[in-house]
A = this chain, B = another copy of it.
Amino acid sequence: MDTHTVAVAYIERLEARNWDGVTALLAEDVVYEMPQTRERITGREMFMRFNVEYPSDWHLAIRRVVAEGPFAAIWLDVRDDGKPVDAIVWLDTEDGRITRVTDYWPDRAEPMPGREHLTTQF
């Protein structure tokens, strides 16, 4: 499976709650990081528990996957308990298995003042 295909499968299997399918994509020593909270989870078993136990009703739709060599970036439209959230997932792979997952969940923010002459709101 090439990296692009691994990335698509990772998201589709998570969304399907196909836990065996997700597990099959992960290296045993996979590392999961959320840089915003500086949380790290080490190892496939703990990372799968994190996914299975995640408390909200989450749904993932792929907006874009970009893969090159062993790396992929995934742009997601997430619904988290119904709330729309954008997310970005970076994947590192080795021999077709995911060795590192880095998740970003950017929050909504207020525009900085002083640039209204350049911008429109959407």
Residues of A within 8 A of B (CB): 4, 33, 35-42, 46, 49-50, 53, 55, 64-68, 71-73, 75, 86, 88, 90, 104-112, 114-115, 118-122
Contact A109–B68 (Cβ < 8 Å): no
Measured CB to CB, the nearest residue on chain B to A69 is B66
**Given A73-B73, A106-B105, A107-B106, does the pair A119, B66 have CB atoms closer than 8 Å?**
no
Copies of this chain in the oligomer:
2
Contact A40–B107 (Cβ < 8 Å): no
Per the bound structure, the CA–CA distance linking A52 and B13 in Å amounts to: 44
The one of B55, B90, B105 in contact with A114, judged by C-beta atoms closer than 8 angstroms, is B55
Within 8 Å CB of A119, what residues of B?
Answer: 39-41, 50
Contact A38–B122 (Cβ < 8 Å): yes
The one of B53, B109, B115 in contact with A107, judged by C-beta atoms closer than 8 angstroms, is B109
In the complex, how many angstroms separate the beta carbon of A42 from the nearest chain B beta carbon?
7
In the complex, how many angstroms separate the beta carbon of A103 from the nearest chain B beta carbon?
10
In the complex, how many angstroms separate the beta carbon of A58 from the nearest chain B beta carbon?
12
**Given A86-B104, A106-B106, A118-B49, does the pair A111, B39 have CB atoms closer than 8 Å?**
yes
**Given A64-B71, A104-B88, does the pair A120, B42 have CB atoms closer than 8 Å?**
yes
